[in-house]
Chain A
Amino acid sequence: MHPAPSVIVFTTLSGLGFGLLAYLGLGYPPVTGWVAFVFYLIGFGLAVGGLLASTFHLGRPERAWRALTQWKTSWLSREGLCAVAALLVMGLYAIGAIFLDQHWTLLGLLGAVLSIATVFTTSMIYTQLKTIPRWNMPLTPVLFLSFSLAGGALLAGQERLAPWLLLVAGAVQLAYWAKGDQAFASSGTSMATATGLGDRGAVRAFEPPHTGSNYLLREFVHVVGRKHALKLRVFAFGLGFVLPVLCLWLPTESSLAKHLMAAVAVLAHLAGVVVSRWLFFAQAEHVVGLYYGKR
Chain B
Amino acid sequence: MTTLPSATEKKLGLVIDLDTCVGCHACVISCKGWNTENYGAPLSDQDAYGADPSGTFLNRVHSFEVQPPEGHAQLVHFPKSCLHCEDAPCVTVCPTGASYKRVEDGIVLVNEDNCIGCGLCAWSCPYGARELDLAEGVMKKCTLCVDRIYNENLPEVDRVPSCVRTCPAGARHFGDLGDPDSDVSKLVAEREGMDLMPEMGTKPVNKYLPPRPKDQIEDQIDILAPLLAPVTEGPGGFMGWLDKALDKLPGQSSGGTA
- B200 and A131: CB pair below 8 A? yes
CA distance A196 to B25 in the complex (A): 21
- B95 and A74: CB pair below 8 A? yes
- The answer to the question of B151 belonging to the interface, with a C-beta cut-off of 8 Å to chain A, is no
Chain B residues closer than 8 Å to A1, beta-carbon distance: 123
CA distance A132 to B89 in the complex (A): 13
Which chain A residues numbered 65 to 81 have a C-beta less than 8 Å away from chain B?
66-70, 72-77, 80
- B137 and A59: CB pair below 8 A? yes
- A197 and B119: CB pair below 8 A? no
Known: A197-B66, A204-B65. A76 touches B93 (CB 8 A): yes
Interface size class of A (residues with CB under 8 A): 35 or more
Q: Mark A208-252, 1 if CB is under 8 A from B, else 0.
A: 111011111001100000000000000000000000000000000
Interface size on B, residues (CB 8 A): 70
- A196 and B62: CB pair below 8 A? no
Chain B residues closer than 8 Å to A74, beta-carbon distance: 2, 92-95
- B122 and A219: CB pair below 8 A? yes
- The answer to the question of A189 belonging to the interface, with a C-beta cut-off of 8 Å to chain B, is yes
Partner of A59 from B63, B74, B132, B198 at Cβ < 8 Å: B132
CB distance from B21 to the nearest CB of A (A): 13
Partner of B94 from A70, A195, A201 at Cβ < 8 Å: A70
Chain B residues closer than 8 Å to A213, beta-carbon distance: 52, 54
- A128 and B93: CB pair below 8 A? yes
- The answer to the question of B24 belonging to the interface, with a C-beta cut-off of 8 Å to chain A, is no
- The answer to the question of B125 belonging to the interface, with a C-beta cut-off of 8 Å to chain A, is yes
CA distance A206 to B124 in the complex (A): 26
- The answer to the question of B57 belonging to the interface, with a C-beta cut-off of 8 Å to chain A, is yes
- B75 and A196: CB pair below 8 A? no
Known contacts A66-B97, A204-B64, A215-B131; 20 additional CB pairs below 8 A are A59-B119, A59-B137, A72-B2, A74-B2, A129-B89, A130-B89, A131-B125, A189-B197, A193-B198, A196-B194, A197-B64, A197-B66, A197-B210, A200-B66, A202-B66, A206-B65, A209-B62, A213-B54, A287-B197, A291-B62
Chosen A-B contacts, 5 in total, with CB atoms closer than 8 Å, are A66-B95, A67-B96, A195-B78, A204-B64, A287-B126
Chain B interfacial positions (CB closer than 8 Å to A) = 1-3, 18, 25, 28, 52-57, 60-69, 73-76, 78, 80, 89, 91-98, 114-120, 122-128, 131-134, 136-139, 194-201, 208, 210-211
For the complex of A and B, the 10 pairs showing the least CB-CB separation, nearest first, are A59-B117, A59-B137, A209-B60, A201-B68, A67-B95, A66-B96, A288-B128, A76-B95, A77-B95, A207-B63
